[in-house]
């Protein structure tokens, strides 16, 4: 069974009297442990697609199943709980909490969402920090880290709860070429190590090459 | 929970200047309330103490109808021996009552053999009076050679200072007191000025003193009669409770017409200072309302700014699975913490202020009294009340911004610029 099943999904935004179709009649399935990229020009619907799969937004029409659950029918509370349990997020602007250290940023979902005991928490954080090669930077605050380092911490935060799926919307957009390649390869390594499914969006051709499966979106349609 | 407060504290410290300024404003409000409550409260306590301990007593029992015509000091509304015995039996059965004393209030003419004036007199039983009003002697000036243990002997009168000055009377001077009794006949007796008494607030404070036996003789009472019974309790704080009990018990004494025989009043029903006391309470409440407004507006402003500036952060929290209630809790914790820190600092500064004011006591004049020294105190209940209100208002003020944060859609919040 596919981890993500998308059936006849459309997303229409209403601006006054004008309707804009961000996604039109999408049908797609993504298997477990896949490393999938959505590519396309700006405004093609990549972010909307990731928001739908990541349970951040609901489709106007159609059905989305993630890990066997029809997530488009969930209410706000249930969606939040589902995201915490099943999905990890990596953001374009890293979105680390500036008042927390690298260690504490990774700890955040374990404390605020999972309520893991302290000992287990520490073990999980150190494991993931070691995996992303940031063990020696764990006590630094985000403003003391480079862009690439921040994104490594963001990857670690997304992976620490051992989610089945990690969503990454343009994770390399704010990074230089070397850092971008390093982050994508790190994500792929993590996918190999933990068996996590990664879905990311990009319009950078060098990053596209790293994906196992690439879906191209143009004007809200898969081509 | 500790982790939420840790994050909340760091978020507060993130905007140091704003947090410090807001905290200072709240602290200032708390300090002002503590100092004002301390000063106003101690002034009120001091004045009530002076009134009840040196003149009025804490409660008084009269024959029904006396207080409504107290200005004319009627002599036909007296308590005879039988009625006084009923009151004594009632008072002696109540463990909260420390002492009681009979009094006669009368108007008389005072002559120094040259001039004549009128005087209001409080006829007392000195041994019992000092138990009911232990500070009554502190307002009196006597001859240096006099035994300080003796307040008043038969044949002696203590006159108000203004009257002594106006009539050019000194301690030891002879005077004549002339008074009408309740039947209208006039009687006069010779007395000696034994002391001068200084005024306090209200008409009660301008009365002279004489021995109750002399008053009974002057008024030609064949049998002992009293006008009022002054009462003192062991614990002043139980005044209302004891008053309620005595009121209900006294109401059972009915005269031949089926009407209540006695009436009882607490000090505040008899003294005009009670209105000033109420004004002080009102001003204290006003100060507290101002403090509440300061806390409410300050924290509401800070928390609204905080939510507005951290929309993307809230979006991130929500996206990674933080429940709306946890997001709300995080912002409520920030508001609560701001109130708590301000409250602790405010209490420390406020108490320090009270301590300093107790070292350098404030001297002031009130009414006809000079050199009153204020030694402000503030009780723990007051501090807890003020702190509790600040914390409650802090949470209340944070509710709307916290709710707003918790209701944000992650997809909109993440896209916020």
- What is the complex's ipTM, to 2 decimals? 0.89
CA distance A157 to A8: 32
Q: Could you write out the DSSP letters of every residue in chain A?
A: --SEEEEEEEEEEEETTEEEEEEEEEEEEE-TT-EEEEE-STTSSHHHHHHHHTTSS--SEEEEEETTEEGGG--HHHHHHHHHHHEEEE-TT----TTS-HHHHHHHHIIIII---HHHHHHHHHHHHHHTT-GGGTT--GGGS-HHHHHHHHHHHHHTT--SEEEEESTTTTS-HHHHHHHHHHHHHHHHHH--EEEEEE--HHHHTT-SEEEEEETTEE-
Predicted local confidence at residue A106, as pLDDT: 94
Residue B144 CB burial class (10 angstroms; 0-12, 13-18, ≥19): exposed
CA dihedral A111, A112, A116, A119 (to 10 degrees): 0
Q: Could you write out the DSSP letters of every residue in B63-91?
A: ETTTGGGGGG--SSS-B-HHHHHHHHHHH
B376 SS3 class: coil
Closest Cα to residue B132, out of B245, B225, B51? B51
Mean pLDDT of A42-46: 87
Q: Which domains does chain A have, with CATH numbers?
A: 4-222 (3.40.50.300)
Phi-psi region of B79 (alpha: psi -120 to 50; beta: other; left: phi over 0): beta
Q: One digit per residue, pLDDT tens: chain B, 417 residues?
A: 788 888 888 888 888 898 999 999 999 999 999 998 888 888 888 888 888 998 889 999 999 999 988 888 888 888 999 999 999 999 999 999 999 999 999 999 999 999 999 999 999 999 999 999 998 888 888 888 888 778 899 999 999 988 898 899 999 999 999 999 888 889 999 999 999 988 765 444 468 999 999 999 999 988 888 999 999 999 999 999 999 999 999 999 998 888 899 999 999 998 888 888 899 889 989 988 888 888 888 888 888 888 888 899 899 999 999 889 899 999 999 999 999 999 999 999 999 999 998 888 877 776 556 677 778 888 888 889 889 998 999 999 899 999 989 988 888 888 777
* A223 to chain B, closest Cα gap in Å: 25
Predicted local confidence at residue B204, as pLDDT: 47
Predicted local confidence at residue B116, as pLDDT: 92
* Partner-chain contact A85 B11, CB within 8 Å: no
Q: Could you write out the DSSP letters of every residue in B188-248?
A: EEEEEEEEEE---STGGGG-EEEEHHHHHHHTT-SS--BSEEEEEES-GGGHHHHHHHHHH
Residues 156-195 of A with CB under 8 A from B: 157-158, 161
Is A58 a residue whose pLDDT tops 60? Answer: yes
* Partner-chain contact A87 B323, CB within 8 Å: no
Nearest to A89 among B14, B313, B319 (CB): B319
What residues pair up with A202 in beta bridges, in sequence order?
Answer: A39
Q: Which residues of B fall within a CB distance of 8 Å from A108? A: 320
> Which chain A residue shows the shortest CA-CA distance from B9?
A99
* DSSP class of B54: I
For B375, the token pair is: 């030694």
Predicted local confidence at residue B364, as pLDDT: 75
CA distance A86 to A167: 11
The secondary structure of B396-414, three-state, reads: HHHHHHHHHHHCCCHHHHH
Mean pLDDT of A187-210: 85
B366 SS3 class: strand
Residues 323-342 of B with CB under 8 A from A: 323-324, 326
> Which chain B residue shows the shortest CA-CA distance from A91?
B316
A128: Cα within 13 Å, side-chain hemisphere = 28
Per the CB < 8 A criterion, the answer to whether A198 and A191 are in contact is yes
Q: Which residues of B fall within a CB distance of 8 Å from A51? A: 411
């Amino acid at each position: 069974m596919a981890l993500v099943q998308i059936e006849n999904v459309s997303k229409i935004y209403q601006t006054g009297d004008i309707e804009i179709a961000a996604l039109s009649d999408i049908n797609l399935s993504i298997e477990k442990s896949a490393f999938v990229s959505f590519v396309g020009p700006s405004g093609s619907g990549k972010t909307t697609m990731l928001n739908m799969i990541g349970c951040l937004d609901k489709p106007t029409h159609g059905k989305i199943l993630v890990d066997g659950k029809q997530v488009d029918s969930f209410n706000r509370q249930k969606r939040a709980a589902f995201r915490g349990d099943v999905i990890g997020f990596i953001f374009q602007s890293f979105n680390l909490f500036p008042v927390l250290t690298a260690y504490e940023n990774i700890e955040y979902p374990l404390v605020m969402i999972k309520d893991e005991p302290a000992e287990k928490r520490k073990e999980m954080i150190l494991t993931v920090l070691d995996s992303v090669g940031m063990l020696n930077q764990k006590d630094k605050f985000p403003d003391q880290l480079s862009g690439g380092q921040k994104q490594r911490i963001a990857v670690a935060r997304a992976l620490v709860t051992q989610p089945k799926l990690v969503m990454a919307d343009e994770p390399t957009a704010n990074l230089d070429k070397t850092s971008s390649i390093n982050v994508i390869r790190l994500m792929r390594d993590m996918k190999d190590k933990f068996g996590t499914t990664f879905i990311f969006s990009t319009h950078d051709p060098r990053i596209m090459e790293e994906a196992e499966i690439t879906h191209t979106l143009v004007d809200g349609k898969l081509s | 929970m500790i982790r939420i407060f840790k994050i909340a504290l760091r978020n507060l410290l993130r905007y140091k200047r704003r947090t410090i300024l807001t905290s200072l404003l709240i602290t200032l409000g708390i300090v002002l309330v503590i100092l004002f409550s301390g000063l106003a409260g101690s002034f009120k306590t001091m004045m009530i103490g002076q009134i009840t301990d040196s003149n009025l007593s804490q409660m008084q029992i009269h024959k029904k109808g006396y207080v409504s015509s107290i200005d004319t000091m009627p002599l036909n509304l007296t308590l005879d021996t039988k009625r006084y015995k009923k009151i004594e039996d009632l008072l002696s059965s109540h463990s909260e009552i420390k002492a009681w004393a009979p009094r006669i209030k009368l108007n008389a003419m005072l002559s120094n053999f040259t001039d004549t004036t009128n005087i209001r007199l409080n006829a007392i039983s000195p041994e019992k009076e000092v138990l009911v009003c232990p500070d009554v002697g502190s307002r009196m000036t006597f001859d240096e050679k006099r035994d300080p243990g003796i307040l008043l002997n038969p044949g002696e009168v203590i006159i108000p200072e203004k009257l002594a000055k106006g009539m050019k009377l000194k301690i030891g001077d002879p005077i004549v007191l002339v008074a009408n009794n309740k039947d209208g006949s006039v009687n006069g007796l010779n007395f000696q000025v034994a002391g001068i008494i200084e005024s306090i607030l209200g008409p009660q404070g301008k009365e002279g003193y004489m021995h109750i036996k002399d008053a009974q003789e002057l008024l030609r009472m064949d049998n002992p009669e009293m006008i009022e019974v002054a009462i003192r309790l062991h614990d002043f704080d139980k005044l209302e409770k004891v008053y309620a009990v005595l009121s209900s018990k006294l109401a059972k004494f009915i005269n031949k017409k089926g009407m209540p025989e006695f009436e009882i009043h607490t000090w505040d029903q008899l003294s005009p200072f009670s209105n000033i006391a109420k004004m002080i309470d009102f001003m204290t409440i006003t100060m507290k309302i101002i403090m509440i407004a300061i806390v409410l507006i300050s924290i509401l402003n800070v928390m609204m700014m905080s939510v507005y500036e951290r929309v993307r952060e809230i979006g991130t929290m929500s996206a990674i699975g933080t429940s709306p209630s946890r997001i709300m809790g995080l912002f409520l914790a920030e508001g609560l913490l701001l109130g708590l820190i301000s409250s602790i600092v405010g209490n420390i500064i406020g108490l320090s202020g009270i301590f300093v004011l107790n070292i350098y006591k404030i001297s002031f004049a009130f009414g006809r009294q000079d050199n009153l020294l204020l030694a402000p105190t503030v009780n723990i209940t007051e501090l807890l009340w003020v702190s509790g209100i600040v914390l409650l208002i802090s949470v209340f003020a944070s509710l709307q911004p916290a709710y707003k944060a918790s209701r944000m859609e992650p997809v909109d919040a993440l896209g916020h610029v």
